[in-house]
Chain A
Amino acid sequence: MDKQMELLQGTLDMLILKAVSLGPLHGYGVLLRIQQISKDRLEIQQGSLYPALYRLEHQGWITSEWGESENKRKAKYYRLTAAGKRKLQTEAEKWNRMADVIAGILRSTPEEV
């Protein structure tokens, strides 16, 4: 197993949006899904997950409702809203552009400068 990387500042929101875009999840489920997709390579502070969820809900990107979990317990499920979907799209594009630019800079050789 690779060593876990710390999450870059400001990316947790995007990851949460991505996670719930694949289907409604409760908070713990969000954590599990991010870990699963990242193959456990990202370290997420569990305590910081909830303020992020509340913030996203406050902003209208996701909504929540109470439902039943896999083991028949009451849990709060989060779902992406239409606005959240658009937000995720623009955030992802922004991230990819940024990653390209950064990667381009890092690849540059002395001759190119």
Chain B
Amino acid sequence: MKLWSRVRSWLRGVTRRGRMESEMDAELRFHIEAFAEDLVGSGVPREEARRRARIEFGGVERAKEECREARGVNFVQSIFQDLRFGLRTLRKSPGFTAVAVLTLALGIGANAAIFTVINAVMLRALPVKHPEELVTVGNPAKVHSWGTGTPRTDVFSYPLYREVRDNNQVFSSVLASSNLGDVRIAVDGGSETARGRLVTENYFETLGIEALLGRTFTTGDGRTPGSDPVLVISYGYWQRRFSGDASVIGRKVRLNNYPFTIIGVAPPRFLGEVVGDRPDLWVPMMMQPQLMPGRNFLESVNDAALLIIGRLKPSVTVDQARTNVNAVVKEALTVTLNGRMSSDDRGAIGGMKIAVEVSPGSRGLSRLRQQFSAPLLLLQGMVALVLLVACVNVANLLLARSEARRQEIALRLTMGAGPGRIVRQLLTESVSVAFLGGALGLLLAHWGLAVLVSLANTGDRTSSSLSLGLDWRVLGFSAGICLSAAVVFGLAPALRFLHLKPGVVLKEGGRGTESGVKGKFGRVLMSAQIALGVLVLMTAGLLVRSLHNLQEADLGYSREQLLLARVDLLESGYRGAAIQNMTRELLGRLAAVPGVRSVTCSSNGLFSGDESSDLIRIDGAASTNQQDDVTADDEVGPNYFSTIGVPIVLGREITSEDFARAAQVAVVNETFARFYFGARNPIGHKITIQDSEHPETFEIVGVAHDVHDHSVRDAVRRRMYAPLTSASFDDLGAYNFEIHAVGNPEALLNSVRAAIRNVNPDLAVDNIKAAADLVADTLTSQEVVAELCGLAHARNRCADSIGRSARGLDLDGNPGGLLRTGHRRCGWNRRGGCRYALVQGNAIWSE
């Protein structure tokens, strides 16, 4: 109470200074006049009364000053005085001020920029209702994963989600969502793409998001598959595509050629539950089969793509939720859903340790967080070093300047200024410089970030979707570093004046002691500056060099003449033998395009983000370690190796003759040959794909040179190539065509596109791109990050992960974001759980 009244009166004095002054004036005037009145009343003449009243009162100004002091206003006054004086001094030496402010602006700007990203990726809570009540179930980084195979617990199938939703006791509400990637949207005829996310009907309700316009989904929108073709669009998309037109509600559009109705617009602050993604639209989960014709995931326990977010019931802890969710998932996989699984899956589930990740979810899901945390912190460390260099620079400048100011300071000391007062004055100057630098730095950070983000992503749009706004954290951080910088560069030069002997200095006159200008202190500063500068330069140099190395890396084949195209036949309506026939026809048509040397196809393609793997046996014998039975594989068309340019080091490649007689032959890479056969000749040995229902055996006919087909940086994995046989045509329905051009592949872009369109104008062609571009794309964001991780000695995951359990090997560092159409990455598995489609850097192997 007492303290409060003091603070209040002080604040009044400081903030409403003008009013306090005029009140004080009025009060004192009233006193003197009243006194004079009384004197007049007792018979003194008016003039005389006034004079006497003023004299008896004493010094009015002194009284006022004492009043101000009584309020504690003077301290603040003197700070303003310091500030005014400081700014005046700075204005008098514009050269020094400009250099110091600019130097600091660069340092502080870099720090603020990186911190803004750290804030957005790692710190900020989702703008939803009570984010602290949310928990994520599954691996929150696998926001783009779609996989087919043995049921998983890092991403979930829809039936498994349903079990969690209906049987848990810890959540008041549970949502699930998955990546839809780019969807084709037709508004008024023309077709374009938009980014979608597939969400359960309780999505908005669980997050507590109300529509800005129209409505969000209700439980009524999710009753039966296909019954509610509605969508909610994001604020950004509404503004961008529909110019914020309110009549958008009720508008009919076509998504992937299926009619939908727009029912709502999300509020501007809501960018979805995935940090770094910014979906344009949300579609009810129940519409999945309509959006991906030919692929129904709603009843399949083998297709996993969902991440789950639950809102905790009151007073339930995350630990309790983890225990309960694990129990529910275990029950579901071993009992409730067990009947729907193949015998192989049941066996796999039986031997699997079920441990579902359940973590606090206030910050939402993010692929970026896991991937970028280490490099971001490292970057922050580096820019902090840069700022330190800047501070040392400015300290040096100040030092040089302070020598010139010895006269002035000495004079002030002799006139009675205390040393504390002098240091305070100098520090005030430093703080002003720092904050000027900080303000400019924030501007630089703002522009710099835009450039940074556009550099960091080429094909991949994810990183540009972070919400990189200023908030109290960024501002507080910037103010903090301004102050610390001011102390770092300002204190040492200021303290030097404490030992100043005014008499001596003043006697020296204008001559100064130039010999001692820098002195020992100056030399220390100089060395620190050079050392720090060299450190920063070296780090940057290393980074640039290794990036250059990666870009020039030998893939094992010439990427310069390859053009890659991907066609999704299943989505285009083809089924069964028609897929096979169409693929043959496309191969023929493409081979006939002038400028094409040869053409082939494969199921995974090059640098596509797709990978697959299988459990195998060599000559019928299993290894002691199940891990050793896993191999990466791919299914390839005729003349795959000669078309790509991969040398066959032993035996022969898979030819059209093999296809004609449906030969069960395989080519393996050198790593494979070395791993299973050592020095022995692998030709003629048999590889059997382990599958109790459809075992297949291939005879090795050739060994191909090791090549980098999905990542420049990772070690080449053991891999077998089998013919893309008729049996597999039905399963996948989407193929990568590799076209070897005679000259520049870019020149073929249009004729290849035209050739495909000539076959069938409605074919879904995802992407036609030169292989060199595709490889370069993987280098930009992901490899920079990997490189930074490497520098931070944080590259543990890439190496370790290869050796993890047979089920769910994480292959980090896979090309991310190359092919945006997440859902098309999936293929049906013909072998009861042997292939995983890998999307956006979230590669998963399984047996």
Give A contacts to B, CB under 8 Å. Answer: 26-28, 31, 45-48, 50-52, 54-55, 57-60, 69, 71, 73-76, 83
Interface size class of B (residues with CB under 8 A): 20 to 34
A46, B31: Cβ atoms closer than 8 Å: yes
Dominant SS among interface residues on chain B: helix
B1, A60: Cβ atoms closer than 8 Å: yes
B71, A54: Cβ atoms closer than 8 Å: yes
Question: Cα distance A83–B26 when bound, in Å?
Answer: 27
- Determine if B552 is an interface residue (Cβ-Cβ < 8 Å): no
When each residue 63-74 of chain B gets 1 if its CB lies under 8 Å from chain A and 0 otherwise, what string results?
100110111100
Dominant SS among interface residues on chain A: helix
With A46-B56, A58-B9, A71-B37 already in contact, the answer to whether A51 and B31 are too (CB < 8 A) is: no
Which residue in chain A gives the minimum CB-CB distance to B71?
A58
> A51 is contacted by which of B33, B34, B69 (Cβ under 8 Å)?
B69
- Determine if B96 is an interface residue (Cβ-Cβ < 8 Å): no
User: Which B1-59 residues have C-beta < 8 A from chain A?
Assistant: 1-2, 4-6, 9-10, 23-24, 26-28, 30-31, 33-35, 37, 56-59
With A45-B58, A46-B56 already in contact, the answer to whether A60 and B37 are too (CB < 8 A) is: no
Sample (20) of A-B pairs whose CB atoms are under 8 Å apart: A26-B31, A27-B27, A28-B31, A28-B34, A46-B58, A47-B60, A50-B63, A51-B63, A51-B70, A54-B66, A54-B67, A58-B72, A60-B2, A60-B4, A60-B5, A60-B6, A71-B37, A74-B26, A75-B30, A76-B30
Residues of B within 8 A of A26 (CB): 27, 30-31
Most buried by A among B28, B34, B35: B34
Give B contacts to A, CB under 8 Å. Answer: 1-2, 4-6, 9-10, 23-24, 26-28, 30-31, 33-35, 37, 56-60, 62-63, 66-67, 69-72
Residues of A within 8 A of B30 (CB): 26-28, 69, 73-76
Question: Cα distance A4–B59 when bound, in Å?
Answer: 21
Residues of A within 8 A of B71 (CB): 54, 58
Residues of A within 8 A of B5 (CB): 58-60
Which residue in chain A gives the minimum CB-CB distance to B27?
A76
CB distance from A59 to the nearest CB of B (A): 7
Residues of B within 8 A of A76 (CB): 23, 26-27, 30
Residues of B within 8 A of A50 (CB): 24, 27-28, 31, 63, 66-67
Nearest 10 CB-CB pairings of A with B: A47-B58, A60-B5, A51-B66, A54-B70, A55-B70, A47-B63, A54-B67, A28-B34, A28-B31, A46-B57
Which residue in chain A gives the minimum CB-CB distance to B62?
A47
Question: Cα distance A60–B2 when bound, in Å?
Answer: 6
Residues of B within 8 A of A71 (CB): 34, 37
Residues of A within 8 A of B66 (CB): 48, 50-51, 54
Most buried by B among A45, A47, A48, A83: A47
Question: Cα distance A8–B35 when bound, in Å?
Answer: 24
A58, B2: Cβ atoms closer than 8 Å: no
Which residue in chain A gives the minimum CB-CB distance to B55?
A46
Interface contacts beyond A74-B30, A75-B30: sample of 10 additional A-B pairs, CB < 8 Å, sorted by A: A47-B57, A47-B58, A48-B58, A54-B71, A55-B70, A58-B5, A58-B10, A59-B6, A60-B2, A83-B1
Residues of A within 8 A of B60 (CB): 47
CB distance from B56 to the nearest CB of A (A): 6
Which residue in chain B gives the minimum CB-CB distance to A27?
B31
CB distance from A24 to the nearest CB of B (A): 14
